[in-house]
């Protein structure tokens, strides 16, 4: 007598389908009970202005958002909530509409990258300038907004990112007429410092992009007394920031690469239980789970190509 194997069950299958459903010689019994509760992947939500909106752009090269998704593929869904032209006032107006509830999504990480527009004293189309004191309060209000704090019981972690420097000369060449720029490298520094102050007060980690960009072109804060701050109009765009800023404000692929590296550095230091590239996958079928945490989700086999993974990261 021919033996038959047990018919596997497909959880959540539609009760309207024929039973059993035969496909490629296999017989599958279909459940008719209630669908199981949906357990979505956690979200890594990127909140900000155009610097965030363009973080997934790959037309010209490296895309920070895309690589972040690669680093956490099958672990977290990276969601881009960047709004070009927005400041902290604008974000507060829409926060309830763009942050899903805990019933809709499990947000594990939230990056807040604002200040580049708030620091623009001439921003009128759209209105952008937010005074420094209100900017601080706005950042705190975003962090403490109920749309955000509702996710704290689920393990939400918030990360602040400072605005980068600007290059005044490049701005003057790329933004004219109604788009004339009022941003300054000194003003950008003030708003970057404000982000760090809010991070210190609230205990939220900060990715200091302003300092990282300046260090990349060879300038340190300790040099300020003897070496003028780069990015001033009189530099004529020769300070080196053009490598990181495409138009004096927005980022080049190299700029996004530096932001990504600094973010990953903070992730490893502050949240070592969520290592990029090697964190165990969130969803596994039984044969994967049976192989344990040392299968391909953790141990990167020699010869695999993963951008940004150093050899010592995968040992």
Binning pLDDT at 50, 70 and 90, where does residue 228 land? Answer: confident
Ordered by where they begin, the domains of the chain are: 42-270 (3.40.50.1110)
pLDDT digits (tens, 9 = 90+) for 116-143: 999 998 766 678 999 999 999 999 999 9
pLDDT digits (tens, 9 = 90+) for 41-74: 899 999 999 999 999 998 888 999 999 999 999 9
- Kindly tell me if the per-residue pLDDT of 91 is higher than 80: yes
DSSP letters for 31-96: --SPPPPP-PPEEEEEEESHHHHGGG--TTS--HHHHHHHHTTTTEEEEEEE-TT--HHHHHHHHH
- Kindly tell me if the per-residue pLDDT of 309 is higher than 60: no
DSSP letters for 250-304: SBPHHHHHHHHHHHHHHHHHH-TTS-TTTSPPS---HHHHHT-TTSTTTSPPTT-
C-alpha–C-alpha distance, residues 44 and 77, integer Å: 6
Task: Indicate the pTM of the whole model.
Answer: 0.82
Cα 95 versus chain centre, distance? 17
pLDDT digits (tens, 9 = 90+) for 160-209: 999 999 999 999 888 765 556 688 999 999 999 999 999 999 999 999 99
Mean pLDDT of 224-240: 80
């Amino acid at each position: 007598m021919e033996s038959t194997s047990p018919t596997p069950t497909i959880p959540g299958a539609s009760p309207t389908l024929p039973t059993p459903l035969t496909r490629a010689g296999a017989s599958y019994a279909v459940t008719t009970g209630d669908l199981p509760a949906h357990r979505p992947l956690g979200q890594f939500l990127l909140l900000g202005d155009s610097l965030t909106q363009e973080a997934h752009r790959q037309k010209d090269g490296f895309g920070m958002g895309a690589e972040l998704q690669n680093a956490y593929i099958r672990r977290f869904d990276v969601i881009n909530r960047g709004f070009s032209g927005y400041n902290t006032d604008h974000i507060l107006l829409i926060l309830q509409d763009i942050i899903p509830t805990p019933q809709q999504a499990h947000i594990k990480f939230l990056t807040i990258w604002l200040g580049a527009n708030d620091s623009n004293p001439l921003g009128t189309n759209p209105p952008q300038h937010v005074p420094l004191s209100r900017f601080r309060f706005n950042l705190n209000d975003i962090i403490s907004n109920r749309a955000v704090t509702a996710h704290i019981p689920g393990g939400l972690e918030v990360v602040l990112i400072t605005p980068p420097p600007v290059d005044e000369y490049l701005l003057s060449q790329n933004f004219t007429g109604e788009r004339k720029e009022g941003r300054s490298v000194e003003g950008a520094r003030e708003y970057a410092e404000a982000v760090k102050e809010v991070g210190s007060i609230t205990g939220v980690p900060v990715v200091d992009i302003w300092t990282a960009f300046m260090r990349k072109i060879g300038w340190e804060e300790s040099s300020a007394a003897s070496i003028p701050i780069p990015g001033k109009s009189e530099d004529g765009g020769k300070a080196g920031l053009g490598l990181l800023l495409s138009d004096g404000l927005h980022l080049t692929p190299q700029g996004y690469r530096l932001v990504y590296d600094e973010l990953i550095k903070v992730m490893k230091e502050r949240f070592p239980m969520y290592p990029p590239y090697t964190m165990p996958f969130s969803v596994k079928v039984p044969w994967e789970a049976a192989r344990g945490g040392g299968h391909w989700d953790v141990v990167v086999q020699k010869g695999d190509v993963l951008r940004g993974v150093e050899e010592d990261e995968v040992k």
